[in-house]
A and B are shown apart, each in its own frame.
Chain A
Amino acid sequence: EVQLVESGGDVVQPGGSLRLSCAASGFIFDDYAMHWVRQAPGKGLEWVAGISWKRGTVAYSDSVRGRFSIPRDNAKNSLYLQLNGLRAEDTALYYCAKATSSAYLSDAFHIWGQGTMVTVSS
């Protein structure tokens, strides 16, 4: 069974940093692009970042570029999201998502984890 489990969410002060993790199982991890998508409380979905190890491509939304990074460790079947310079508007549930069928960043978000909550507040 394909499974994604996020962790690392916490309450952090503005300007602080946090590292989220996504543990993947049930599929060949480096065959697929992986993404982070967030959802602020009571709001819609917002794509944050994506990575294709096989294709060597990384992409970020305009709202997080320069503050967030999306490393992955294929040996550990894990995806990460490094969040720096956090702002109140970054408060959200952060989901890890696996692409549908390939390593292309243009593939849709097929399998989702349950999310990990990040709250930015003083």
Chain B
Amino acid sequence: QSALTQPAAVSGSPGQSITISCTGTSSDIGVYYYVSWYQQHPGKAPKLVIYDVTNRPSGVSNRFSGSKTGNTASLTISGLQPEDEAHYFCSSYTSTTTPWVFGGGTKLTVL
């Protein structure tokens, strides 16, 4: 069982917006702004799309945005495109004995 909780799957049509949630605890998301999101296409390495809750690395589309409220972080993808279809994983730094934890991943299907 993953330390962070994500929905197993979400879907949307091209052009729509979707939001993926990531729920943690007061030991991770609730206390740190070190929340990041990763996109992974089949057979490929993960790619960082959001870090420190809201920041986008250079080269990542501004259609990707992040936020956090309490113990829950969210990734929003606007203007869905077919190439956005992938697995998305959240991650957070923690105050526990395992400093980094991931969510179980969410499969995004673009209908």
Given A44-B102, A61-B98, are A112 and B32 neighbors across the interface (CB < 8 Å)?
no
User: Are A112 and B97 closer than 8 Å at their CB atoms?
Assistant: no
Docked complex Cα distance between A59 and B100 (Å): 10
B52 neighbours in A (Cβ, 8 Å): 108
Chain A interface size band reads 20 to 34
User: Are B2 and A112 closer than 8 Å at their CB atoms?
Assistant: no
User: Are B98 and A44 closer than 8 Å at their CB atoms?
Assistant: no
**Contact partner, A95, options B2, B46, B103, Cβ 8 Å:** B46
- Closest partner residue, chain A, to B106 (CB atom): A44
**In the complex, B111 has a CB within 8 A of chain A:** no
- Closest partner residue, chain A, to B98 (CB atom): A61
**In the complex, B18 has a CB within 8 A of chain A:** no
Given A108-B34, A109-B36, A109-B38, are A44 and B48 neighbors across the interface (CB < 8 Å)?
no
Docked complex Cα distance between A112 and B44 (Å): 10
Question: Chain A nearest CB: distance from B29 CB in Å?
Answer: 13
Contact with B along A26-59 (1 / 0, CB 8 A): 0000000001010000001111001000000001
Docked complex Cα distance between A107 and B48 (Å): 12
B91 neighbours in A (Cβ, 8 Å): 45, 47, 108-109
User: Are B97 and A114 closer than 8 Å at their CB atoms?
Assistant: no
- Closest partner residue, chain A, to B34 (CB atom): A106
Docked complex Cα distance between A65 and B38 (Å): 25
User: Are B51 and A110 closer than 8 Å at their CB atoms?
Assistant: yes
**Contact partner, B98, options A37, A62, A95, A109, Cβ 8 Å:** A62
Docked complex Cα distance between A107 and B33 (Å): 10
User: Are B45 and A115 closer than 8 Å at their CB atoms?
Assistant: yes
Docked complex Cα distance between A35 and B34 (Å): 15
Docked complex Cα distance between A87 and B36 (Å): 29
User: Are B97 and A62 closer than 8 Å at their CB atoms?
Assistant: yes
Given A44-B89, A47-B91, A108-B52, are A100 and B57 neighbors across the interface (CB < 8 Å)?
yes
A105 neighbours in B (Cβ, 8 Å): 93, 99
- B21-54 contacts to A, CB under 8 A, are 32, 34, 36, 38, 45-48, 51-52
Residues of chain B touching chain A, judged by Cβ–Cβ distance below 8 Å, are: 2, 32, 34, 36, 38, 45-48, 51-52, 57, 89, 91, 93, 97-105
